[in-house]
Each structure stands twice: as structure tokens, then as C-alpha cells.
Structure 1
Amino acid sequence: MNFLSDYQLPDHPQIGVVSSFSGLVHTEFSGLVNALCWPRSLAGDFKEIVSKLQLGEDITEVSAEDLLALSLSEQGNTAREIILSDLRRLTGFGALPSLNLLRCYERDEELDFFSTDVYSYHVDRSPIGTDTFLCTYHGAASDMIANDQVTQKILVPEIREKLRQLHNGPEAEFEDFLQECFFDLHYQAQPDAQPINLGNGHLWRLAVDHPQQEVLPCVHRAPIENEGEYRLLLIC
């Protein structure tokens, strides 16, 4: 079962393409490239796995033991082995992968002019050198967007003024306030922006904002889920 036949990996200056897991983890980000993709046309029935997993909360972490406990068809078993192999690869590399069954993420609705949830275009930040790995096996897939097609929200004058009013403190502490509340991580798309969907089955590595990072962090967002459909996402 080839469910990736309609997806075309875009030719984009920020995306590097590799042909193996080794290439994915050992290729350095450089220049404009801040997203690496190992494109894969996966066999197997991932929908069957989703249908047999139990969703405990809006986000339910699925262990290898949970997968192994499922009674699956031949196609379902093929999909399971692919997921288990990805988990082993990433764990062996030293990452901490999490397989999540998702109904939806929590929405941030505290401010009517600024959302800090993952549905907003954002970058990831870490105090140490790391990367974000992700693969959507089933359901709506994440988007990334070119850094030159977004504007950091804290630089939009009307938003910045509202944040300054929210801060209501010394001007010298305003920038620290923006970082502490993660406002500086979020971006808005420019009118002519063209988001890039990451597709199903491909394993991605995205650049994170950290002290040793030599490229711009990758701007991305979680998708709006398809009605009545769960996502199965590997992320770390």
C-alpha cells in the first residue's frame, strides 16, 4: 500500500534531501538549508494501526509495547515494523523519540491577538545543541515555511505595542519578557507566502534555535486535523 504517490517533495533552497537515515543525522545544516528530508514511499497500513490504538487523551503516547500488543493484518504488521525500526534508529542515535496518537493539541486562547500554541508558525528552541525529528505516518502532516516569507510577530508594530501594554513593566525588561513568555518564537506568514507540507511517511530533521546553531531555525507549524481523523506522529 503506497500512500505517498501523490506527494511531491518540493525543490526548495531550505530543504536538503538525503537517501538514508545515516545521511539524515550526519549531514550538516549549512547556508540556507535548515530542513533535511529522507523521502520515503512506505508500504503498510498505518490507518489500521490508528484504528486499533486507544486514545486516552487528546495526545496519547504510544509505546513499542503498545504496538507489539496489536493484532494486525499483514499490511498492518508491515507498517508496525517500519515504526519500530524508526524508533530504534532514533534511540540508537541518542534521541528520545515519542510516538503520539493525536486528536488535537491544546489551544492557546488566552490572548485574542497572539497565540503561542503549535498551530502557530514557530521555531523550536533549546539551551543545548539539538534538532527536531518528525514523521507523520497517518493524518494531516505538518507545514514548514521559508524564513524570508514570515515576519517575527514581535516585530509587527501593532502586536508589539499590545505586548508592551501586556508587559506593563520597565522597558529594559521588555525583551526578556518576550523570551520568557515564548512570544519571540512565533511568526506570521506574509501575504504571498507558500507553506510547504511535509507529507506522510517522510522522516524530517529541522534546525532548532540553540547557542551553537549556524543556520536560521526552521519555521513550522502543526496542521489543523482532518475531521474525524487521528494523527500518528513520531517526534523528538
Structure 2
Amino acid sequence: MSNTFSENDQIRVVSSFTDLIHTNFQGTTNASCWYRNLDGDFKEIVSKLKLKENITEVNNDDLLSLQLSEAGEMARAIILNDLRLLTDLGASPSLNLLKNYERDEELDFISTDVYSFHVDRSPIATDTFLCTYHGAASDILPNEQAVQKILVPEIREKLKALHQGPEEEFETFLNENFFDLHYQPKPNAVPINLKQGHLWRLAVDHPAQQVLPCIHRAPIENDGEYRLLLIC
């Protein structure tokens, strides 16, 4: 299989949904990619959906109500099948038409929005699934190429000043405010773009996880272009 991810130790590339969900993460591998070259006109779907808010959830009825060309119908069938596969797995996939996410501008020294490199956390064993059908795609970053923001000395000192509480409660403060989920790329870090059409499974931070969680971020959207993203 010729692709742009096969030489990377972080990523396991597979050729089916079954392999995607049954491939165990181990070592430095914390991302799996069902590598696909999708047929169909996803741009047509985006052009016919109605953006109600900056993030608009699209349900099956919304998709089925669209009058589409043959290429658009092919794209719709792929999306509906992906949603069905994940739902049958017990996941709760969401298809989102995105203009942009909300920015976190409350603090000038640390950001906790999805445009910041971060990991997902869950109290139960789960994974993050995502696929970008149209628009800019997300990035991931090898764990060794990033440092937790709360460990950056100047950021940590400012967080301590913000906390203004007992030292023994500082770590809880970082956790409760999600500061510990966010990462800063090291100098010369090289993010990996997930590109369009591939269905990804990313490791999440949870008690039973055997590997480091996958560091990822939402992309800056292309001017005048909506994203169509499946995520759960």
C-alpha cells in the first residue's frame, strides 16, 4: 500500500474497518489509519448543507434530503456507511459542518481550545475516531516532539500565580481546568497532517491505556471553505 504514513512509527496503516478497530496500540504507535482514496463529490454535499451555527451537526435525515448528482450520492453513501460502522461498534459518531471552533482567548499565555495541540481524556476505555471529508484536515504530533505546557517553566509559574491556592491542590487545579491536556511543539517539531478521506483512530488517555495518548489539533480553516468532519 503506497501512502504518506507507512514509514512513521507512530501510525499503523490498515486497509479495512475491521483492522482499524482490532489493531492494538503498542510501543510508540498511538494512531491507526484506514487509508482510503474515496470516490464521490463531498464538496457538493457541503455546498448543499445549511450552516446554522459555526458548528452545525448534520444528521442522517439532513443527508438523505439532499438532491445530489451521482458523484454526490456516492459521497453520501460513504458517509452514511462510516456512521453506521461506528454506531454498530457502540460509538456515538457526529457529522459536523464547521465554519470554525470557538477560540480560547481568556489567558494570553496558554490556550486550551482545539486549535492547540492536545490529547483527549476519558474515564473509560475508548478511542477517538475522525475523518475529514472536505476542507482542512487535523494534525497529529509524535509525543517525543512535544512538551506538556504545564511543564514549561514560564507557563507553570503563571499558572501557579493564577491558582492562588495551596500547593497540594495545584495539580488538581491543572486537571480540572484541562491545562494538563495541552502540549507545545518542541523546536523543529514536524506535525503530520491526517489529510482527507482517511478514517483515523487515535489513542485516548484513560486508565487502561497501554500507550501515550495521541497529540492532535484542529487545523486553521481555509478561507471561505467549510469543513465536513466525522468525529466521535
- Do Structure 1 and Structure 2 share a fold, with TM-score over 0.5? yes
CA drift at 1:9 = 2.9
Preserved CA contact (<8 Å) 2:57 2:96: yes
Q: Which residue of 2 aligns with 1:101?
A: 97
Preserved CA contact (<8 Å) 1:10 1:196: no
Select which of 167, 184, 207 maps to 1:188: 184
Once residues 105 and 115 of structure 1 are traced to their aligned partners in structure 2, the CA distance between those partners, rounded to angstroms, is 13
Q: Which residue of 1 aligns with 2:57?
A: 61
Gaps of 5+ in 2: none
Q: How many residues align?
A: 231
Q: Which residue of 2 aligns with 1:35?
A: 31
Q: Which residue of 1 aligns with 2:109?
A: 113
Whichever residue aligns with residue 124 of structure 1, its letter is D
Select which of 60, 84, 87 maps to 2:80: 84
Q: Which residue of 1 aligns with 2:138?
A: 142
Preserved CA contact (<8 Å) 1:15 1:34: yes
Select which of 117, 121, 128 maps to 1:125: 121
- Confirm whether residue 217 of structure 1 aligns to residue 213 of structure 2: yes
Once residues 208 and 171 of structure 2 are traced to their aligned partners in structure 1, the CA distance between those partners, rounded to angstroms, is 21
Q: Deviation per CA, 1:130-184: give whole Å up to 9, x if none.
A: 0000000000000000000001000000000000000000000000000000000
Once residues 119 and 38 of structure 1 are traced to their aligned partners in structure 2, the CA distance between those partners, rounded to angstroms, is 24
| Moved segments of 4+, more than 6 Å | none
Q: Secondary structure at the match of 1:13?
A: coil
The percent of aligned pairs where both chains have the same amino acid is 72
Residues 117 and 10 (structure 1), Cα distance of their counterparts in 2 relative to 1, 3 Å cut: farther
Q: Deviation per CA, 1:9-31: give whole Å up to 9, x if none.
A: 35211100111000001111111
Select which of 156, 173, 176 maps to 2:172: 176
Once residues 6 and 112 of structure 2 are traced to their aligned partners in structure 1, the CA distance between those partners, rounded to angstroms, is 28
Q: Which residue of 2 aligns with 1:167?
A: 163
- Confirm whether residue 52 of structure 1 aligns to residue 14 of structure 2: no
What's the Cα RMSD here? 1.0
Once residues 67 and 220 of structure 2 are traced to their aligned partners in structure 1, the CA distance between those partners, rounded to angstroms, is 30
Once residues 188 and 157 of structure 2 are traced to their aligned partners in structure 1, the CA distance between those partners, rounded to angstroms, is 25
Q: Secondary structure at the match of 1:51?
A: helix
Gaps of 5+ in 1: none
TM-score, length of structure 2 as denominator length: 0.98
Preserved CA contact (<8 Å) 2:5 2:13: no
Once residues 157 and 127 of structure 1 are traced to their aligned partners in structure 2, the CA distance between those partners, rounded to angstroms, is 29
Once residues 101 and 10 of structure 1 are traced to their aligned partners in structure 2, the CA distance between those partners, rounded to angstroms, is 30
